[in-house]
Amino acid sequence: MRPTTESGLAVRAHHLSRRFGDFTAVDSLDLDVEAGEIFGFLGANGAGKTTAIRMLCGLLAPSAGEAWVDGLPISTHGEAVKRRIGYMSQRFGLYDDLRVGENLEFYGGIYGLDSAAIKARRGELLERLDLSQALDRPTGSLPLGYKQRLALGVALLHRPPILFLDEPTGGVDPVARRAFWDLIYEVAAEGTTVFVTTHYMDEAEYCGRVSIMVAGRIQALGTPASLKAEHGARDMQDLFLKVVGT
């Protein structure tokens, strides 16, 4: 896997902003994410996290500023950025009426993989995600935790150097969340940069660094340990409340 940029940054944002009429969802965002890092992007509902991720993924044009993903400026290389990342949205986006294997084959074709590559990668991911037994099951019949694993598999099909996960464990039980994070660790250990949003403060402890966004701006940035020490917080939940306010 080639280095993402000469500076070792997988993601960089400089004064990145997005306005919707008179409302500013993301306000002059400055951010650097190192290659191979697990970076947690935290904030309350409406803080601007999803809007920022959609811009970084080339899905939404910024109103001002610039960002670089895998070394490419999103303003001029949005389509190329989409091919170099894996993206898992908040809402389950696969086809419920397709079988598990068919979803993987369909998205493999979208990513430009040939049939041999899709077959090999499908088998590898199904085993890794413990979904081999579900190959021929309709996707809509799967429990939510299994659906989330499948969505992660689809995001990883083309071996992207950067993975964006927008609240990937929302609604699943604690055991399934822990298993999902074990998979994230495995992916990161192989050199993939993981950029993840979450509402679960215990999950923030799993990240190398975290940011906390308030009203479109980053109000805190650092390792979980350093931020807790800086704000005199007992845990990540206490830290979040101190930064965001109750």
pLDDT (tens digit per residue) in 150-205: 999 999 999 999 999 988 888 778 888 888 898 899 999 999 999 999 888 889 99
Give burial (CB, 10 Å; 0-12/13-18/19+) of 157: buried
Q: What is the pLDDT of residues 109-126, one digit of tens each?
A: 988 899 999 999 999 999
Domains of the chain as residue ranges with CATH:
9-244 (3.40.50.300)
pLDDT at 162: 97
Among left, alpha and beta (phi > 0; psi -120 to 50; other), residue 181 is: alpha
Rounded to whole angstroms, the Cα distance separating 208 from 205 reads: 8
Distances in Å between the alpha carbon of 16 and those of 29, 56, 75, 150, 236?
5, 10, 11, 32, 27
pTM for the model: 0.90
pLDDT at 226 over 70: yes
